[in-house]
A and B are shown apart, each in its own frame.
Chain A
Amino acid sequence: MTNKKKVKSRNLGYFKDLAIILTQKEMKVRYKNSFLGYLWSVLNPLAFAFVFFVAFQVVMKIHMKDYVLFLIAGLFPWQNFTNSINASPMVFLMNSTLIKKVNFPRHILALTLVLHDSVHFVLSIPVILFFMFVYHRVPSLSLVWGVPALLSVQILMTYGIALFLASLNLFFRDLERLTTILTTALFYFTPVIYSETMVPDKYRVLLKLNPFAMLMISWRNLFLNGSINPVYAGAALGYGILFFCLGYFFYSKLAWKFAEVL
């Protein structure tokens, strides 16, 4: 079909424009104002860092040097992940009018959601660096390649999960709350507010089964030590590819029905 060819040739520019406009729409709809959205993405993890600091160091007196910095280095990437995941069940529902009227690649809606949160995350990295200066740490040069590398893995993983949840929610409609419960539970099973070394030896092997643990440990080590454990990062990448493939497969099996069930 000649039409297919035409579509292909304009694809790249089209995708770019489409991704930008949908991301802007996303910001508008979610936060009314993109600066408020950014501020929120910074204040939220900072507030939680403060809460956990009070609970665990001031009250429960765990022994860890620079615990606040430790928390911040983990909470920012974690929040980037959960923001997208928690919003993802609604992403096709919220764009129902679009889906019912135009045949365009719907997965791009999930992608823009993930990219939107990632942009906020990247913009909030200076805040992490600021806290490193406060605690007399010097950010490592390896951030220059480490951040893009881990962010790519995170986007891949999040995108896959988002596609899965967004597609499934069109058929069940109550995944949203379930998702929040699951991400909250995951938060406590993932070494974000504690370190992996605090996990008892006999359970430590379980961490390897937790895709998010692999990623979050890598993020924190990157910020605090300027290093990435290739085994952890590699495992995260493997999980990322797996999730993406599963999510995309699931989406592509259901996509043709979207306009009917909306």
Chain B
Amino acid sequence: MSRNPLIVFEGVSKSYTLHYHFTGGIKNFLFHLPSYIRKARSSSYCALKDVSFEIRRGETFGIIGKNGAGKSTILGIIAGVLKPTRGKVAVGGRISPLLELGAGFSFELTGRENILLNGIILGLTRKKVLDRMDEIIEFSGLGEFVDQPIRTYSSGMLSKLAFSVVTSLDPEILLIDEILAVGDLNFQQKCLEKMMSFKKSGVTIVFVSHSMKQVEQICDRAMWLENHVVRAIGDPGTITGEYSSYWKDR
């Protein structure tokens, strides 16, 4: 692990504009233009407030916090799919896709076709994915289901698929959002082992999880998000301990 930070958040805030009023369609929009514009201006929701932290190259960084705290928003900003409203973000390195629940890209395609699609989108060449296909399928443990359309998959199977594709990449940054929660124990174990081996080879991992045990087990540092702000950053054992006792006391 080197000293120089790979991911830097400096005073980052993120507000979502609430667009539900637009979904009435263009006709409604045109007929009620002034009131829509007023509403659009006023209704935004602040998901992150003045968040600052640094993640060093090769570090495994855990993020904990209750639902809606803003964990996924942070990962989305790191992945570059979301844009912060305020603040500075610097990310240097090849990023894996956001691994999250219900992952899997095109529901009409089979598992195998999704592996190819994902691999290419993530920057592998077609040939490379095809070369590694057997290995990926082997890791996923999906067996014959790999040739079924993924709309028939359970959420556990979907995260197996998503995680397996990533194992065949060589990312510099791995973003993991709660996906280990749904796989069976056997697969969870396999994933943790794989993450350990990624870690050994110097991959930077940002790991969002509700399992305090997993966070303690593999993270070098952890961050606790509470109500859209950073509550604490530090040693994973300490942070998870504080977090658990905080919730016990309530």
Contacts and interface: CB of A to CB of B under 8 A. Distances in A.
Interface stretch (A79-87, A96-104, A118-126, A210-218): A96-104
B120 A174 contact: no
B25 A174 contact: yes
Interface in A88-132: 95, 97-104
A100 B27 CA distance: 27
B121 A102 contact: yes
B25, B93, B103, B106: residue with the most chain A Cβ atoms closer than 10 Å: B106
Contact of A2 (B92, B102, B117, B121): B92
Contacts of B76: 100, 259
Interface in B7-56: 16-17, 19, 22-23, 25-27, 29
A18 interface: yes
A10 interface: yes
A174 B121 contact: no
B123 A178 contact: no
Contacts of B113: 25, 28
Contacts of B19: 171, 260-261
Given A6-B94, A10-B123, A101-B103, A172 B117 contact: no
Contacts, number: 90
Main secondary structure of the interface of A (DSSP, over half): helix
B120 A17 contact: yes
Contacts of A6: 94
A3 B26 CA distance: 40
Nearest to A98: B105
A21 interface: yes
Given A21-B120, A28-B113, A100 B125 contact: no
Contacts of A175: 26
Interface residues of A, number: 35
Nearest to B107: A97
A260 B126 contact: no
A172 B92 contact: no
A251 to B, nearest CB: 15
B108 A260 contact: no
A1, A10, A20, A100: residue with the most chain B Cβ atoms closer than 10 Å: A100
A98 B121 contact: yes
Contact of A172 (B25, B121, B123): B25
Interface string B75-97: 01001111100000001111101
A29, A257, A260: residue with the most chain B Cβ atoms closer than 10 Å: A260
A165 B75 CA distance: 29
Interface range on chain B (Cβ under 8 Å from partner): 35 or more
B182 interface: no
B122 interface: yes
B148 to A, nearest CB: 14
Contacts of B81: 99-103, 259
Given A3-B93, A18-B121, A174-B25, A101 B98 contact: yes
A102 B82 contact: no
B229 interface: no
Contacts of A28: 108-109, 113
B53 to A, nearest CB: 20
B104 interface: yes
A18 B22 CA distance: 32
A137 interface: no
Contacts of B16: 260
Contacts of B59: none
Please name the 9 residue pairs, one residue from A and one from B, whose CB atoms are nearest each other, closest first.
A103-B80, A174-B25, A259-B81, A172-B26, A101-B98, A256-B83, A101-B97, A102-B97, A21-B120
